Structure 1
Amino acid sequence: MRITTIKAYRLLQPFVDGPYRMSKARQADAFDAVIVALTADDGLTGWGEMAPLGTFYSAAFAAGAEKGTAEIAPHLLGADPRALAQVGRLMDTVFKGHPYVKSALDMACCDLAARAAGVPLVTMLGGRESDTAELYKVVTHGPADAMAKLAARFVGDGFNRIQVKVGGGVRGDIERVAAVAAAVPKETVIFCDANAGWTPFQARQFADATRAIDYVFEQPCATIDECLSVRRSLDKPMVLDESVVTLDDLLDIHRKGAADGLTLKISRLGGVSKTRQLRDLAVDLGFMVTVEDTGGAEIDTAAMAHLSLSTPQERRLHAIAFHEWVTVRTAANCPPVSGSRMGIPDGPGLGIDVLPERLGKPFLEISGK
């Protein structure tokens, strides 16, 4: 089995609910996705997607993914997509660093390999641990009363898990979280996510003033050591997200006892293959785990669902349905969502049926070998 044709597309995916706001005036109006299709000599096609959240969230941007994909793609012609480790080493050899550029290509190889085997991707990722994963909703940064109303709406819609964006002015964020907590039932699971927006001084101010509120603290500061300094005086669980970029980061977090849980982002780590490696190690080391990505529609959400549902239930935190965030539809048979839970589509590979006519004209189309 050899890759004979590679196509790549760039697609803007506007948000259904308007701008996505974080602290410090960081906001995005859409995901800017790069989608790739790898076709093999047997006629099967595998799909991959990556979409950064603006240019402020991670060291990734769509224009870079577009240019990088065009650089790497010719080297993959003639490669066996089922040899995932070999493909990964090849990409790392011809294109140093920039894991986000390689993410959609690796995802497409994983999809193609599972389709060739005639099994859903979840089977190749360790097997399905449950039928569905519990979803969470994000309460974006804004006025306290607006955030409280949004949180109450989510709970009214049947969601029991919410992520509250903090990381701005400490006093204002204390008021925001207090308002949200007062607006939802006590059993609601609340994550306070600062997106690395605070100094340790600010994070400790916030933690001290909110001790009476039950929540999980997520990525309060930029570095592992800064988050650890906050954790030492914290009486709540801590999850790290932006700090997990490499395997060495994961091991450093474990060695220092810097967190109870990890959020693994597919594009940040370089694809499904490397995310699976870190996910399995994180589980073995006793972390709670969330597997998601920086953004995307049906293709990326399907990959997140397969990785989530192959994570042991007792170690899985929650999942997110990004394809419901955007106004575009890129595939049929998308990841099924029922209430506050998400499953995986029926069928081999990712299980989705991509609709190429909705992707526009490819910016890259090459064939050979």
Structure 2
Amino acid sequence: MKIKNIKAYHVVQPFVDGPYRMSKGRVADCFDAVIVAITSDSGVTGWGEMAPLGNFYSAAFPAGTRAGVPEIAPHLIGQDPRGFAGIGRLMDTVLKGHPYIKSALDMACWDLAARAADVPLVTMLGGRESDVAETYRVVTHGTLDQMAALAKRIIAEGCRRLQVKVGGIVHDDIERVTTVAAAVPKGTVIFCDANAGWTPYQARQFADATRGIDYTFEQPCTTLEENMSVRRILDKPMVLDESVTSLGEMLEIHRLGAADGLTLKISRLGGVTQTRLIRDVAVDLGFMITVEDTGGAEIDTAAMAHLSLSTPAERRLHAIAFHEWVTVRTARNAPPVTGSHMGIPDGPGLGIDVDPALLGEPFFEIG
């Protein structure tokens, strides 16, 4: 089997609930996605998606993705899409760095290979460990009343896991988390995610003032050394997200004992291939795992769901349903979400029935 044709589409995906706000005044109005279709000489098509959260969240930006795909795609024509490691080495050879650009292409190769084999992607990723994954939802920055109301609405809709955005002015964030925790039922799982917005001094202030609240601390500071300095005084679990950029970084986190859990973002790691590798090693090392991405709709959410459900249940933290965040559709179906649980669509590959008519004209095509 050989790659015969590659198309790339640009799809803007506005948020259902308006602007997404996080620490340091960072705001996004939409996911700005690139969707890739890779077709083999046997006529099977696989799909991949990558959507940075604005220009500020990670070392990725929408215009860079659109510019990068034409740099790589011509070199993939004629390659076997099932040779994931070789495809990865080839992409790294023709374009150094920029893993986010490679993510959608890698994802499409996995989808294509699983569809050609007539098996769900979860089977190729190690097998289904459970039928559904627990999901969480985000309480973004806002006034105390706004955040409490949003948290109550999320709980009323059946979700029991909240990620509360912090990382701003410490005393304001202490009030925010205290208010949210008081507004939701006892036993609600709370993660306080600073998105690397604090100095160690600020993170220690927050941790000291909120000792009476049950939560998991997520990525308080930027560097691994800063997070480790907070970890030493912390009496709560810590999860690292932005610090996990490669297998080497994950192994360093383990060596230092810097975290109890990891959030693996597919596009930050360069695609499904590296995410699966790092996930499997991290599971063997004893980490708790969340697999997600920087954004996207049905295609990317499906990839997250397959990776999540092939993660051992006892090592899985939770998942997120990004396709529910946006106002546009890219497929005729989606990963099924019931209450606080998400499954995977029926069918081979990602299980997603992508409708090209919903994507517009491709901005790039080669074959």
Aligning the two structures, in what range does the TM-score lie when normalised by the shorter sequence?
Answer: over 0.9
Instruction: Please report how far the alpha carbon of residue 332 of structure 1 lies from its aligned counterpart in structure 2 after TM superposition.
Output: 1.5
CA RMSD of aligned residues (A): 0.5
Q: Which amino acid aligns with 2:346?
A: D
Q: Which amino acid aligns with 2:21?
A: R
Question: Equivalent residue for 2:159?
Answer: 159
What SS does structure 1 have at the residue aligned with 2:152?
A: helix
Q: Which amino acid aligns with 2:228?
A: L
Question: Equivalent residue for 1:77?
Answer: 77
Hey, which bits of structure 1, 4+ residues long, moved more than 3 A? none
Instruction: Please report how far the alpha carbon of residue 63 of structure 1 lies from its aligned counterpart in structure 2 after TM superposition.
Output: 0.7
Question: Equivalent residue for 1:141?
Answer: 141
| Matched-pair contact (CA < 8 Å) for 1:48–1:105 | yes
What SS does structure 2 have at the residue aligned with 1:141?
A: coil
1:91 corresponds to 2:91: yes
Instruction: Please report how far the alpha carbon of residue 124 of structure 1 lies from its aligned counterpart in structure 2 after TM superposition.
Output: 0.3
- Give the fraction of aligned pairs with identical amino acids, expressed as a percent: 77
Question: Equivalent residue for 2:129?
Answer: 129
Question: Equivalent residue for 1:250?
Answer: 250
Question: Equivalent residue for 2:206?
Answer: 206
Q: Which amino acid aligns with 1:364?
A: F
Question: Equivalent residue for 1:307?
Answer: 307
- Hey, what's the Cα distance between the residues in 1 that align with 2:43 and 2:194? 46
- Hey, what's the Cα distance between the residues in 1 that align with 2:234 and 2:339? 33
Instruction: Please report how far the alpha carbon of residue 324 of structure 1 lies from its aligned counterpart in structure 2 after TM superposition.
Output: 0.4
Instruction: Please report how far the alpha carbon of residue 80 of structure 1 lies from its aligned counterpart in structure 2 after TM superposition.
Output: 0.3
Question: Equivalent residue for 1:235?
Answer: 235
| Matched-pair contact (CA < 8 Å) for 1:145–1:176 | no
Instruction: Please report how far the alpha carbon of residue 25 of structure 1 lies from its aligned counterpart in structure 2 after TM superposition.
Output: 1.1
Question: Equivalent residue for 2:150?
Answer: 150
Question: Equivalent residue for 1:321?
Answer: 321
TM-score (norm 1): 0.99
TM-score (norm 2): 0.99
The count of aligned residue pairs is: 367
What SS does structure 2 have at the residue aligned with 1:353?
A: coil
- Hey, what's the Cα distance between the residues in 2 that align with 1:225 and 1:238? 14
Query: 1:7-47: CA deviations, max 9, x gaps?
Result: 00111000001000012210100000000000000000000
Instruction: Please report how far the alpha carbon of residue 333 of structure 1 lies from its aligned counterpart in structure 2 after TM superposition.
Output: 2.3
- Hey, what's the Cα distance between the residues in 2 that align with 1:159 and 1:48? 28
Question: Equivalent residue for 1:19?
Answer: 19
Q: Which amino acid aligns with 1:304?
A: M
- Hey, what's the Cα distance between the residues in 1 that align with 2:86 and 2:232? 42
What SS does structure 1 have at the residue aligned with 2:86?
A: helix
Question: Equivalent residue for 2:265?
Answer: 265
Question: Equivalent residue for 2:35?
Answer: 35
| Matched-pair contact (CA < 8 Å) for 1:302–1:335 | yes
Query: 1:223-272: CA deviations, max 9, x gaps?
Result: 11101100100000000000000111100100000000000000000001
User: Please, which runs of 5 or more residues in structure 2 have no aligned partner?
Assistant: none
Question: Equivalent residue for 1:2?
Answer: 2
| Matched-pair contact (CA < 8 Å) for 1:129–1:312 | yes
What SS does structure 1 have at the residue aligned with 2:282?
A: helix
Q: Which amino acid aligns with 1:320?
A: I
Question: Equivalent residue for 2:294?
Answer: 294
What SS does structure 2 have at the residue aligned with 1:243?
A: coil
Query: 1:61-93: CA deviations, max 9, x gaps?
Result: 111011110100000000000111111111011
